[in-house]
Structure 1
Amino acid sequence: MKMRAIIVEDEPLARQGLESYVREIECLELCGVCENALQANEMIASQKPDLMFLDIQMPKITGLDFLKTLTNPPLVILTTAYPNYALQGFELNVVDYLVKPYPFDRFIKAINKAKEILELKQNRNTFTASTIEKEHFYIKVDNALKRINFVDIYYIEGMENYASIFTAKDRFITLMTMKSLEELLPRSEFLRVHKTYIVSKSKVLGIMGNELDMGFIKIPISRSRRNEIIGELTRG
């Protein structure tokens, strides 16, 4: 599988270094190089890349502020000399955060993460149409696809670009975002109750303050959406 990539970097030496790295990776196809966010915006529209290497410190608009303007951004690997922006980057669901100067093996690790996320997205798109009817879906676990039945899920906990799916007996970790899982699960059966939690409505045993009783664990609910969440859970 080839990933189409663009580079957004205002420093000439950094651009050249990234270009040389990208050309060494067989699964990457470089489809554009930009010096600023304006060029990047046009290139994303025209080239529709799968992956963007994005510098944070750029003139006029930072990489993070530019990323916030995109409604459907490609996968993003941040490249920067400033490690203090890491948390903000992961809050925007970036794939990885590379601090300059980064070695080639660290670059490869970031590429492998991006490739795995893209493969999972493609698998999700392949399975989505049929899985709702079959009441199950598939996730990638290690090097295999694991079938997860909707009825077996108690709750899901998000962790950056990963998620943990909890059943009565098992925990499965998959490289999927909470947003993608929320779109995949039937809304009649599951509810996003917190930034990092999705629960099965049928598995909720009770509501205590700002927590849901799931039997073996208490799940926090969003304070700002508490009334909405309780209304959804108690409806009917």
Structure 2
Amino acid sequence: MINCAIIDDEPLAREGLANYVREVDFLNLTGLCENPLELLPLLNEQNTDLIFLDIQMPKMNGIDFLKVLQRPPMVVITTAYPTFALEGFQLNVLDYLLKPITFERFFKAAAKARDYHQLVNADSPRATDNYFFIKCGTKYEKVVFEDILYIEGMQNYVTIYTIKGKYVTMLSLKNLEEKLPANAFIRVHKSFIAAVGKIDGIEGNEIFVSGSRIPISRSYRDMVLEKVVFKRLIDKR
């Protein structure tokens, strides 16, 4: 079940979307808000997975609201203005619905949210698994653990660098980290995870991985040295 909230300053638009939500068996309506500021308590008090967000509203428009959210849930824009589509997708919205919204179009967006929610919340890979799938745009990509060099997180999406290329997908770094084998990967920075076996060297505040330099933060450095270097260090002693 996906918990969702609707934010729209037009009462008829709110009720229309609410009726659509009630028709979809995998959606659970947790809030109806006139403006984004009313949503904030819901985000703090309830587990809101998805928001249907209007753009042109008093006090704060939807785009500005998305920009200030630290970790936004899945977002489907609902608006009468097509001109904000590019900016919306740059903020990683899941879908962009133009009013008047038909139930068929609404259901398509809801199904997309369900598929993404299931992918993000899938069980961690078993020890015998050596790969996972992620969604990149409209394609599902297979990523083999052994191919991963390092992973960079930025807000609510990550870039996975592998020996075959890089993949960009809408996931948080924390969520992806939970799916990785702990013995094979290590957090080296708030925004970076490295494959232990692919680390070629460490110098100062940088880690070298297959020709790339990635930062290592002070808070992680001792742990990384202990796990990656000291257990295999040969010295004069």
Answer whether TM exceeds 0.5 for this pair: yes
Quote the Cα distance in structure 1 between the aligned partners of 2:153 and 2:109.
17
The residue aligned with 1:135 is 130
The residue aligned with 2:96 is 109
Quote the Cα distance in structure 2 between the aligned partners of 1:117 and 1:156.
24
SS at the partner of 1:224?
Answer: helix
Quote the Cα distance in structure 1 between the aligned partners of 2:110 and 2:158.
15
Quote the Cα distance in structure 1 between the aligned partners of 2:213 and 2:185.
16
Return 5+ residue gaps in structure 2 as ranges. Answer: 86-93, 98-105, 232-237
Are the counterparts in 2 of residues 7 and 32 from structure 1 also a CA contact under 8 Å?
A: yes
Deviation at 1:178, TM superposition (A): 1.3
CA RMSD of aligned residues (A): 3.7
Deviation at 1:76, TM superposition (A): 4.2
SS at the partner of 1:176?
Answer: coil
Q: Does 2:37 match 1:57?
A: yes
The residue aligned with 2:157 is 162
Higher-Rg structure is 2
Deviation at 1:235, TM superposition (A): 4.8
Deviation at 1:185, TM superposition (A): 0.5
The residue aligned with 2:227 is 232
Task: Choose the corresponding residue for 1:75, options 43, 50, 55.
Answer: 50
Task: Count the aligned residue pairs.
Answer: 206
Are the counterparts in 1 of residues 51 and 73 from structure 2 also a CA contact under 8 Å?
A: yes
Q: Does 2:5 match 1:7?
A: yes
Q: Does 2:181 match 1:186?
A: yes
The residue aligned with 1:20 is 16
The residue aligned with 1:222 is 217
> Which of 15-24 and 217-226 deviates more?
15-24
Change (3 A) 1:102 1:148: same
SS at the partner of 2:219?
Answer: coil
Change (3 A) 1:127 1:97: closer
Are the counterparts in 2 of residues 93 and 160 from structure 1 also a CA contact under 8 Å?
A: no
Alignment of 1:80-91 (within 5 A): 81=57, 82=60, 83-89=63-69, 91=70
Quote the Cα distance in structure 2 between the aligned partners of 1:146 and 1:26.
33
The residue aligned with 1:92 is 71
Return 5+ residue gaps in structure 1 as ranges. Answer: 37-53
